[in-house]
Structure 1
Amino acid sequence: MKLTYEILPAGQAEQCKELCNELMTYQKSMAVIKPELFDTMSFETRMLPSIESALHNHLVAVKDNGKMIGYVYSNISPKAAYSNDFATFFDLDSVSGDLVGCLSQFYIKDGYRQYGIGSKLFEMSLKWLSHFREAEDLFIFVSNGNENALNFYQRKGFVATHDILDGFITVLRNKN
């Protein structure tokens, strides 16, 4: 393996399209609650709208010999962006400021997991998020059935606070 980590400008998010769609397929395959909700989720309906509504975006791609094998996408957004027609992701009054940080998407191709790539991407994301002091509250949303991801984030210090959409998503945050 010859791994490289590259910070991509939001305008180059298209490089992650295939992996983003693979993430949606993976999440659907793991889901035991409402897997059909993933049928309409794709790069165009998840990542692009998130990038457009965020105030700040951070996209890190990891490549093996130039081939995309994973990415993490994080953003800083107004907390109001997390209450929409799809769901209200957390109690807006529980957030101390007007902005929140979110580790929004995280995916590593099968065969590349367990090599520390996830920990490195996670650390890069949190380091970037920590630069925004006005966004004290950080969130991660884990789809049901993805116990490996849930356990990973909990080992990294995030706490599961509640479920939304009848258990479809578990909400984790950096503090109670």
Structure 2
Amino acid sequence: MNIKYEIVPDEKIEYCRDLCNELMVYQKSKAHIKPELFDSMNFDTRMIPSIKSAIYNYVVIVKDDDKIVGYVYSNISTKETYSNDFATFFDLTSVNKDNVGCLSQFYIKEEYRKKGIGSVLFDMSIQWLKKFDDVEDYFIYVSNGNNDALEFYKNKGFTVSHDILDGFITVLRSNK
């Protein structure tokens, strides 16, 4: 393996299309609560709107030689962004500042998991999120059934805050 990490500007977000779509299929395969909700989720309906609505975006892709094998997408957004037609992701009054940080999407192809790549991507994202003085609350949303991801984030210091959409999503939070 020849692993490299590359920060991707917004105008090259298309690099993540295939992996984002793979992530949605993977999440549906794990889900035991409302898996049909993933049928309408893909790069165009999840990542593009999120990129456009965020104040700042941070995308890192992982390459093995020239093959993209993983990515992480984090953003800084107004807290109101997380109350929409789909769901209210957290109690807006529980956040003192106007903006929140979110580790929004995270996916690594199966054959590259458990090799330390996820920890590198996580650390890069958290370091980026912590650069913003106007943010003190950080969120991660884990789809139901994705217990490996849930444990990974808990081991990294995030705690389960609550579930939304009848358990479809578990909200993790940190304000460190």
Dislocated runs of 4+, deviation >6 Å? none
Which string of whole-angstrom CA distances, capped at 9 and with x for unpartnered residues, describes residues 19-41 of structure 1? Answer: 00000000000000000000000
Query: Which residue pairs with 1:164 in the alignment?
Result: 164
TM-score (norm 1): 0.99
Matched, 1:27 2:27: yes
Query: Which residue pairs with 1:97 in the alignment?
Result: 97
Which string of whole-angstrom CA distances, capped at 9 and with x for unpartnered residues, describes residues 104-149 of structure 1? Answer: 0000001000000000000000000000111100000000000000
RMSD of Structure 2 on Structure 1 (CA) = 0.8
How far residue 175 of structure 1 moved from its aligned partner, in angstroms, is 3.9
Query: Which residue pairs with 2:6 in the alignment?
Result: 6
CA contact (8 A) 2:157 2:174 kept: yes
Which string of whole-angstrom CA distances, capped at 9 and with x for unpartnered residues, describes residues 46-80 of structure 1? Answer: 00000000000000000001100000000000000
Matched, 1:86 2:92: no
- Paired with 1:93 and 1:17, the residues of 2 have a C-alpha distance of 34
Unaligned runs of 5+ in 2: none
Q: State the percentage of identical aligned residues.
A: 65
Paired AA for residue 102 in structure 2: C
- Paired with 1:97 and 1:119, the residues of 2 have a C-alpha distance of 28
Alignment of structure 1 residues 15-164 onto 2, 5 Å = 15-164=15-164
Paired AA for residue 135 in structure 1: V
How far residue 100 of structure 1 moved from its aligned partner, in angstroms, is 0.2
1:157 alignment partner, SS class: coil
1:131 alignment partner, SS class: coil
2:44 alignment partner, SS class: helix
TM-score (norm 2): 0.99
